[in-house]
Structure 1
Amino acid sequence: MDSRTIALIRTTFKAVAAEDGGSERLSRSFYSILFTDYPGVRDYFPAAMDSQRDRLVGAISYALDRLEEPDKLLPFLAQLGRDHRKYGVQPSHYVAVANSLKSALQQFAGTEMWSDEVAMAWDEGLATISGAMISAAEKETTPACWTARVLERREILRNLSIVRIKLDQPMEYAAGQYVSVQIPARPRMWRYLSPANPANEHGEIEFHVRSVMGGWVSPAMVAHTQVGDQWLVGSPLGGLGVPRNAKRKMLMIACGTGIAPLRAQLMSMAQRRVNPKVHLFVGGHHPCDLYDLAVLNQLAEANKWLTVTPVSEHDDNPWWYFDDGGPKPDLSSLEPRMTGQIGKVVASYGSWADRDVQIVGSPSMVQTTKFRLMAAGTQAKSIRHDPLF
C-alpha cells in the first residue's frame, strides 16, 4: 500500500473511533450489520459480546498503526490467522467481516468524508489483512486447537489459582508467548493465558489465573476448575522472547500474573550455556501478591546472570489474607523488597539505556510503566510488550 492509501485508512478510522463513544458505536454497528447480513456467522460468537466488541477496535487500531511496518504487521496477522482456525473460520467469513466493517465505517464517516477513493483504500487494506491471515491458516499443519485435561488446580490466593494441564499432543510455543483457552463452563468464550513454563515433550502447561471482578471466564477458571476438566487451547500468539544470540542486557517488569511469560523465558534461558544479564522487577499491590517468589529465588540462586527485585505498593497484606504461620520460603537470593508503584520504582534506577525491556501486566500498568521509563531516558524502540487489547 502506498502512503496515501494508508493515510486515508487511518484518517477515516480515527475520525470515527476518536469521537466520544465512537469506538463503542462503531463496534456495535459492525456486529449488528454482520449478524443481520450474514446471520450464519452469529454462531461463531459468544452470547455475551462486551469483551468481543472491545477487542475488535483494539485489534484494528493495532493493525492500522503498523501498516507501514510489514515486518511487524505480517507476522502478527499470520499468528491471528492460525489462531482463528479454532473457530472454523473460512475465507468467506473474511469477506463478510470486511463488507460489514466498511458499511459501519461509512455509516459514521458520512458523505463528506467517505468517497470512492476512501472505499478503495479500505478495500486494499482489508484485502491485505485478510489475505495474510487466510494464507497463514491454509499453510499451517498444526491442529486448529488442542484438547487438554486439567491435572491440577492449586488455590494460591482467594482470587488466584495455578492450573496445570496436559495437552493431547505437545505444542511448540516460544517461552513468552500466550494462547487462547476455552473452558467447558464458558463455550465460545476464549480467554488469553500465558504459559508459565517452556514448551516440553510431555505437553504440560502451567497457567496462573487471576479472577477479574465482573469477568465472565476468569472467575469460573479460578473457583470451579476441577481435575479432569477438558479445556481447548488455541495456537500460540505473541512475540516476547529472548533470542539465543542476545547480547544486550535485559530488563523485565511484571505485575501479578504477568510474571508467567517472563518466568517461562527465564526457565528457558536457564537451559542455555550463556545468557545476558537480566534484572527482573516483579510487582503487586500487596506482599501476598508476590506469590511466585520461591520459584524466582531458585532461578536466581542457580543463575548468577539473574537479579530479582520484588516490589509491592503497600507494606501490609489485605485484611482477607490469611497467613497460616507455616515456614517461610527461602528468599535469600532475591533483592530486598521495595515499596512503591512499580513503574516509578524501576524508573528511579535511571535510564536503563543499555537494556532491552519487556513489560507484562494490565494495559494500564504497561502504559504507565512505559511512559515512566521513556521519561527517564529509555528509548521507545527498546521497550516491548504484547498488544494491549
Structure 2
Amino acid sequence: MDIPAMRASFAKAAAAGDEAPLYFYSHLFLSHPATRKLFPISMAHQRDRLFQALGDVVAYVDDLDRLVPILQALGRDHRKFGTVAEHYPAVGASLIATLKHFDDEWNPALEQTWADAYGVVAQVMIEAAEAATDEPPWWDAEVVSHERRTVDTAVMWLRPTPEFPYRAGESISLESDVRPKLWRYYSPANAPRPDGLLEIHVRAYDGGPVSTALVRRVGQGDVLHLGPPLGHIHFDQDSDRDLLLVAGGTGLAPLKAVVDQVARHGPPRRVDLFVGSRTEERIYDRADLERLDAEHPWLTVTFAVSGDDLSPLEQGDVGEVVVRHGPWTSRDVYVAGPAAMVEDTTTRLVKDGVRPERIRSEVFAPSRLGPSLDGEVTE
C-alpha cells in the first residue's frame, strides 16, 4: 500500500470540511437506501464521526500491532448498530467515491490502494464481529439511582442484564430511548463488583443531546442500552508500582475505577489521586472521595482549584499542584480530563523527570461521540 499517497488523498477530503461527510452519506444513502436505518434521524451529530475514525485509521495504518486490536474492538462494538457483513462493501464504495470526488489527482493505482486498505479493515472488523456472536450486541441497563450533584452533573448507578464484562479504565457507549441511535462513551467509575452495578458520571454540555438527556431527563427506573467495552486508559493490572492519578472534570470516573480496582484486588501500593476543578463547588464527587481517603490508608486524595481564590483548597492548575507535591519518577501515572489539562499535566510531569512511557492519558471532551485510536475521546 502507498501509505503516503493515502494520507495525502485523505487530507484533501478532510480539507473540504463538512462537504466531505455530507457527500459520503448522500452517496451511501442514495446507492444503498437500506443503510439509512442504521443511523439516527438527525445526522447533525453524526457527520464528522466518519472522518474522525478514518483519520485515525490512516494515521496508524502502518502500525498494525496497534491498529488491529482496536479494529477488532470496533467490529464487536458495531454490532449494536445492526451492522452486518453485507454493509461493509457499501460503506467502502461510498468512501472511495468520496475520496475520488475531492482529489483532482485521483488515479487507478490510488483507488486500488484504498480498496486494498479498506478490505483489510473490513475483514478484521467482520471477523471480530462474527467471533462475538455468543455475546449480546448490547445490554439493557436499569437506572437504579440517579443523583444530580451540580446543575450540570449527575452520578448514576446502572444494573446491566445479562452480566456485563469489563475492566477498570475501559469505556462503554450508552444509548437512551430519549435519544435513539445516538451513542456516547462514558467510563464506569468503579471496578467490576459482585452485584454487577456500574457507577456512571455525566456532565451536560450545551449542544450535547445525549449528555443533557442523561443528566436532566433520565431517572430511576429508566432503561439504557450499553455497547461492549472498549479499552482506553489501559490500566496495567500486572504492575505493582505505586500510582499517581490526575483527574479533571468527569475524567475522574476511570481513575476512581482504578482506585476501586486496587481496593478490591491489590496488589498493595501507594495511590495519590489529584482532582482539579475551576471552583470548589464544581468538585461534584468530593464527599465520596473523602470517604475513600478516610477508609484506605494507602490512598491520598488532594483537591486543587484554579479559579477560586476564596477556597482553602490547594490553589493552581492541577498539573502545577501535582508537580509541587512530587517527585513522581517511580510511579505509574494516569491522567484523564479536558485536553488542555491533560496536555499541561503530562508536559509538566515529563519536564519533572517522569518517563513518558509511564504516563497514560485519556482526553474527556463534551458528548464523547467516540474514541479515537490513541485513546482520546472527542466530541
Report deviation, 1:34.
Answer: 1.3
Paired residue for 2:109, among 108, 117, 126? 117
Which of residues 185, 204, 215 in structure 2 aligns to 1:211? 204
Aligned-residue offset at 1:219:
1.2
Among 57, 60, 64, the alignment partner of 2:54 is 60
CA contact under 8 A between 1:353 and 1:379: conserved in structure 2? Answer: yes
Q: Secondary structure at the match of 2:229?
A: coil
- 1:338 equivalent to 2:314? Answer yes
CA drift of 1:77 comes to 1.1
The equivalent residue for 2:222 is 229
Match of 2:372 in 1: none
Q: Write out aligned runs for 1:35-74 (5 A).
A: 35-74=29-68
C-alpha contact (below 8 Å) 2:143/2:156 kept by paired residues? yes
SS at match of 2:179: coil
The one-letter code sitting in structure 2 at the alignment partner of 1:35 is: F
8 Å Cα contact 2:191-2:257 kept in structure 1: yes
**What are the Cα deviations for residues 191-243 of structure 1, in whole angstroms up to 9, with x where unaligned?**
11111112234331111111111211111111111221121111011232433
Judge conservation of contact 1:287–1:316 (CA < 8 Å) in 2: no
Cα offset for 1:145? Answer: 0.4
CA-to-aligned-CA distance 1:114-146 (integer Å, 9 cap, x gap): 222211221122122111111111001211100
- Closer, same or farther: CA 166–313 of 1 in aligned 2, 3 Å: same
CA spacing shift, 1:117–1:370, aligned 2, 3 Å? farther
Q: In the alignment, residue 139 of structure 1 is paired with which amino acid? A: A
Q: CA deviation at 1:350?
A: 6.4
2:23 corresponds to 1:29: yes
Distance 1:217 1:388 in 2: 15
- Where does structure 2 lack aligned partners over 5 or more consecutive residues? 363-374
Contact 1:150-1:229 within 8 A present in 2 as well: yes
Aligned counterpart, 1:95? 89
Per the TM alignment, residue 304 of structure 1 is displaced from its structure 2 partner at its CA by 3.7
What whole-Å deviation, never above 9, does each CA across 1:36-75 have from its counterpart, x for those lacking one?
2111111111122233223222222222222232222111
CA drift at 1:371: 4.3
Root-mean-square deviation (Å): 2.4
Between the aligned partners of 2:268 and 2:17, the Cα distance in structure 1 is 44
Which residue, out of 344, 356, 360, partners 2:336? Answer: 360
Q: Which residue of 2 aligns with 1:327?
A: none
1:11 is displaced (CA, Å) by 2.4
1:269 shift after superposition: 1.1
Give the partner amino acid of 1:192: Y
Deviation at 1:357?
2.7
Give the TM-score normalised by the residue count of structure 1. Answer: 0.86
User: Letter of the aligned partner of 1:361 in structure 2?
Assistant: G
> Aligned with 2:60: secondary structure?
coil
1:214, 1:317 → 2: CA distance? 32
Local SS of the residue matching 1:142: coil
Distance 1:343 1:151 in 2: 35
Answer yes or no: is the 8 Å Cα contact 1:283–1:312 preserved in 2.
yes
Q: Find 1:156's aligned residue among 122, 144, 149.
A: 149
| Counterpart pick for 2:125 among 109, 113, 133 | 133
The alpha carbon displacement at 1:90 in A equals 0.7
Tell me: CA distance 1:280–1:83, structure 2 relative to 1, closer, same or farther (3 Å): same
Identical columns (%): 35
Aligned counterpart, 1:324: none
Does the C-alpha gap of structure 1 residues 135 and 56 become closer, same or farther in structure 2, counting only changes over 3 Å? same
**1:193, 1:145 → 2: CA distance?**
15
Going from structure 1 to structure 2, the CA distance change for 1:211 and 1:273 (only over 3 Å counts) comes to closer
CA distance in 2, matches of 1:290, 1:226: 22
The C-alpha deviation readout for 1:136-179, integer Å capped at 9, x for no partner, is 11001211100111111111111111111211211110011111
Give the aligned residue type for 2:377: L
Show the 5 A alignment for 1:281-296: 281-296=274-289
29-38 vs 55-64, which moves further: 55-64
Moved more, 348-357 or 8-17: 348-357
Work out the CA distance in 2 between the residues paired with 1:226 and 1:75: 36
Instruction: Point out where structure 1 has 5 or more consecutive residues left out of the alignment.
Output: 319-335
Give the C-alpha shift of residue 259 in structure 1.
0.6
Indicate yes or no: 2:33 matched with 1:14. Answer: no
Match of 2:180 in 1: 187
Instruction: Show the counterpart of 2:69.
Output: 75
Change (3 A) 1:127 1:233: same
Which segment is superposed worse, 193-202 or 269-278? Answer: 269-278
Give the deviation of 1:352 after TM superposition: 4.3
Closer, same or farther: CA 67–248 of 1 in aligned 2, 3 Å: farther
